[in-house]
Amino acid sequence: MIYTEDLTVGQLYSRLFIGAGRFDSFVGTPEKVAAEMEKWVTEEAADGFILQSPLYPRDLEDFVNHVVPILQERGLFRREYEGDTLRDHLGLQKPINRYTQARQSKLANK
């Protein structure tokens, strides 16, 4: 495809690895990817991203090691979390269900 259609590496990547006609992929240096993500966030075009990469775990490691520090320097990516779970991070209480309710009742009756 590169030779017959004169595609750039970014165009080839988008064609092969981005599903269902999505054109909102960020391909490039860590600085370029971080800048594009920052643009989307500051322009309120996104409040989160889904990472897709064809070569796990290498590409994920590259993102974490090279892009995340840039986003952290710019104040766009947290350095610490409020807890160990998403529920903790969002400040949500654990819902009471019949199992936890029964356990709490047993503890209260002892």
Measure the CA–CA gap between 2 and 58, rounded to whole angstroms. Answer: 24
pLDDT digit string, tens, across residues 22-81: 556 788 899 999 999 999 999 999 888 888 777 778 889 999 999 999 999 999 999 988
Locate the domains of the chain by residue range: 2-82
What's this model's pTM, rounded to 2 decimal places?
A: 0.61
Residue 37 burial (CB count, 10 A): 19
Angle (CA) 61 47 8, round 5°: 55
